[in-house]
Amino acid sequence: MVFAFESAIALIVQVALLRRLAQRFSDASLVRWGLLLQGLGLASMPFFPVFGLVFFGAALYSFGSALFGPSINAWCSKRADPRSLGTMFGAMQAARSLGFILGPVIGGALFD
């Protein structure tokens, strides 16, 4: 239920809000706000005493994630040399994939 809720929030943000926010704020600002909201959402979830409140943290995380993903790609594409865009995006995807591998391994070890 939580993942479906997060996906719905991300869909709404990216379809209805992101274009307007991108016109009003810089890519760097959207990246910063996206990361801040993701962090607040993730950090807050373990402290909610009732399961229903977890959706508040999930909403913060999902809103931040929906801001961060497209904004980091836009920001990097504007700053990179046009001849090296493929290399830059490949490196970004590789780093993201490495995070998806190492994150759970490190998180599981810390949890134990």
pLDDT score for 112: 86
* Under 8 Å between Cβ of 87 and 32: no
- CA–CA gap between residue 22 and residue 37 (Å, rounded): 16
d(CA 74, CA 67): 11
| Model pLDDT, residue 48 | 87
pTM: 0.83
> What mean pLDDT comes out for the span 78-82?
89
Using an 8 Å Cβ cutoff, are 50 and 58 in contact? no
Residues 81-106 pLDDT 10s: 889 999 999 999 999 999 999 999 99
Q: Per residue in 6-59, pLDDT tens?
A: 999 999 999 999 999 999 999 999 999 999 999 999 999 888 888 888 999 999
**Whether residue 111 has pLDDT greater than 90:** no
